[in-house]
Each structure stands twice: as C-alpha cells, then as structure tokens.
Amino acid sequence: MYALILSIGILLPGVRSIAQSLSLTLPDAVSMAIKNNRALKISGLDIDKAAEEIRVARSLSLPTASIGGQYLHYFVMPAFFGFGNNGGGDKVPYSRIGGRDQFAATLSVAYPLYNPSAKPALREAQLNQYARRTNQKYNEIDVAAAVKRVYLGMLVLNERLQLQYESLQRNEKALQDARSLLAQGRGLRVDTLRAYTSVKNLQPDILKLNYALQVGKQQLVTLIGIDSLQDVQLTDSLTLTKDEQIPTQEALYEEAKAQRPDLQLLAINQQISEQQIISAKAQRLPIVSAIGQYQVQSQAKGANFFDAYWPSASFAGAQVTLPLFTGYKNQARISQAKINKDQAAVRITDAHEQLKTEVAQVIANLNETFERMKTQVQVQETAKLSYDIIQYRYSKGVASRLELTDAELALTTAQLNYLEAVFEYLSARIELDRTRGRN
C-alpha cells in the first residue's frame, strides 16, 4: 500500500508537466509574445500615460473652479487706521474692531478666453502619444524577431541533436563490430580504441545540446510572457519556402524607409520639436481669462458663528496676464526647442544613411548564406553517397575500418554544416523582415 502511494506521488509531477505542456507553432509564439511580453506591456503603459498627458493639455482650455475656507483667531485684534480718537499731531488714529474669531469661504471660477499655449501643448501631447504607439510597433518587431531567432535556434538544436544521436548509433555499431573482430582475432586493437574514442567524444556534445535546448526553452517562455514552469513543445519544422525571393537593395531601402517605425519615430520627434518652439514662443503672449468669485464671511466672539452675521460678496470680470520679464527663461526655451529640431533633422539624415548600409549588409548576408546553403546541399549528398559506398565496401571486406570512420565523420560534418547554413540563411530572412519593418 505504501509503495503504491509512493509510486503515485512520484508519477504526479510528471503528469502535471504533461498537462502543462504547450504546443507552439512559430506564428503562435510570435502572437503570444506580442500579447504577453512584459517589456511590451511596460511600453504599452507609456501609451496610457500619453493619453493622460493629452487630458492635461486640454485642461489649459477648460474652466477651473476652486473653493477655499479660512478660520482665524486673533489674540490681539488687527488695527484699522483712520478710526478712533487716539490721534494727535501727525499721528494717524487707529482702532481695533471686529470679532476675535473670523471665518471666510470663497468660491472662485476662471475661464481662459485666450491661452496661446493651449493649442501647441495639445498638439505636442497628441504627437507624444503617436510617438509612443510607433515606438510600441518598433518594440513589437524586435520582440517578434527575437522570438523567431530563439524558436529557429531550438529547431536547429533539435536537428543537431538528432544527427548526433544518429552518429552515436553508427559509432556504437562500429565499436561493437570492432570488438567482435578483435575477439575473433580478425581486427586490430587500435581500431577498437579509435571507435571507443569516437563514441566517447560524441557524448559530451549530446549533453551540451540538451542543456542548450533547456536554456532555449527558458528564453522562449520568457519572451512570450508565460509562466517559467510552463513546458513548451515546438510543432513547426525546419523547412525552407521555395518561392522566397531576395529583393534588390533599392526596393528594400524604399520599403524600409516607408515602413520602419523607428524612422517614422524620428520624423514624429521633429514635429514635436516644432510644437515645442511654438509653445515656447507662446509663453511671451498674454493670457486672457474671465474670472468670478463668491464669498461669505463672518466674525464672532468666542467662535459663536451661529448667532453671527454672514454677509456675502461676489464679482465677475476679466483678467489679463502679460509676462514682461522672465529672466531670459522663454528665450532659452525657444533656443533649446530649435536645437532639438536641428538635432532631429540630423538624426533623420543619419538614420537614412545607416539604413543604406544596413540594407546592403542584409542583402549580402542573404546572397552569401543562400549560396552557401546550396553548396552544403551538394556536399551533404556527396558525403552520404561516399559513406554508403564505403560502408558497402567495408561489409565486403574491401575497405578498412579507418576509411569507414573517416566517411562517417565527413557525413556528420557535412550534415552539421548544412544545418548551420540553413540556420544562418533563415536568420538572415528574419533580419530581412526586421529591416522591412515587419513582425
């Protein structure tokens, strides 16, 4: 009974891990990353912050209302000059009148009739929100590219692991044959040692690949924003699309120039700088507001306001505020905004020049990796044919064990080189999509 309970307890974690396993295609992984990636969520909150900045900018054109109250207790009553009989000579008489306890409540309202800063401030806030949305798109492209690279890397690791296991099986079979021949007196001890060494050399590589797969899964889980304990299974395979075309440099440059969010962001920043210039200049202009106030006040002895009078007063009018001198602050702000605009223009020019270099590098990588991949296909086929021939000759006693070992090593190397070429070509395709501004 205890043994049964113990065995169930041992199996339950495995059952849970199977239940939590998540099958992922590459499009699913990209979609989940864009939805759940934590870095994207943080930058997405910047968009919400920008929406609140728009509300703040709109408040410059909206009325404001405030209510205030004041209670005072005088230990010595305030003096009012011009009253009383204590004057003499050149002295102005004064008197202390009123209650020691005083209270006043005020309701004030102001409505800006003309505020030159309101419109550019609102436009700047709207551009900031647009900039943050554009930056979010750029971040999504980067995250999507990272997910594709990790996913692709894991597919390659799986293929390499499979090739290493196949190579291990071939070498273990060769080791068995060498031991059998040595026991029969028909083989050399050096052949057995060589086969044994080949088997042992493959085991650390397999262990390294298994650990690399574990790390890759952890990276993928982190990128797509799910629980770190969640197990994922990749359902896509390492395949190539036959109709993929490599664009020309001119076409790629024009497409990237029109679609890249980071380049669009530079243009938006230039517009923001223009609005900052307008806003800084607006600080020199007058502000006209309609104002009104209603006030009630009372004075009492011993804070007995219930039996006191509560006279009220109210007024409405207009108020004009014109800054005459601000310590050169406005001029400095205008100069700073103009400098920001000049910097934005230089950044745009520099980004376009860098884009030309980036496009040339991407196209070069695509052409180089594509040609290398085609070459590796031929090399792999040749190595496989060579291995099959030598294996047949070895089975007939014509070829030596050393020739078979060398052929097996050449086949494994050719297969791994082909995998590397495919990985680099697909990585170049990912970089092509990122350069275009696509997820």
Mean pLDDT on 177-181: 81
Check residue 8 and give its pLDDT. 35
Residue 166 lies in a domain: yes
Which of 19-28, 103-112, 242-251 ranks highest by mean pLDDT? 103-112
pLDDT at 4 over 70: no
Q: Which CATH number do you get for residue 136?
A: 1.20.1600.10
Residue 372 lies in a domain: yes
Check residue 14 and give its pLDDT. 45
Residue 10 lies in a domain: no
Q: In this prediction, what percent of the chain has a pLDDT beyond 90?
A: 63
- Name which of 8-22, 35-49, 195-209, 254-268 the model is least confident about: 8-22
- Residue 349, amino acid: T
Check residue 61 and give its pLDDT. 93
Check residue 243 and give its pLDDT. 63
The pTM (predicted TM-score) of the whole model is 0.81
pLDDT at 10 over 50: no
Half-sphere exposure of 300 (CA within 13 A, CB side): 15
pLDDT at 436 over 50: yes
Residue 155 belongs to what domain range?
16-63+115-288+329-436
What is the total count of domains within the chain? 1
Please count the helices (runs of H) and the strands (runs of E) in the chain.
Answer: 9, 8
Residue 222 lies in a domain: yes
Residue 320 lies in a domain: no
| Distance of alpha carbon 166 from alpha carbon 172, whole angstroms | 10
pLDDT at 38 over 70: yes
Check residue 242 and give its pLDDT. 67
- Residue 54, amino acid: I
pLDDT at 1 over 90: no
Pick the closest to residue 150 from 201, 61, 222 (CA basis).
Answer: 222
Q: What is the DSSP letter of 92?
A: P
CA 103, distance to chain mean position in Å, is: 56
| Distance of alpha carbon 14 from alpha carbon 265, whole angstroms | 49
Residue 28 lies in a domain: yes
3-state SS, residue 299: strand
Reported as a pLDDT band with limits 50, 70 and 90, residue 6 is very low
pLDDT at 364 over 70: yes
| Distance of alpha carbon 132 from alpha carbon 124, whole angstroms | 12
In tens, the pLDDT along 87-114 reads: 667 788 888 888 889 999 999 999 999 9
Residue 100 lies in a domain: no
Residue 5 lies in a domain: no
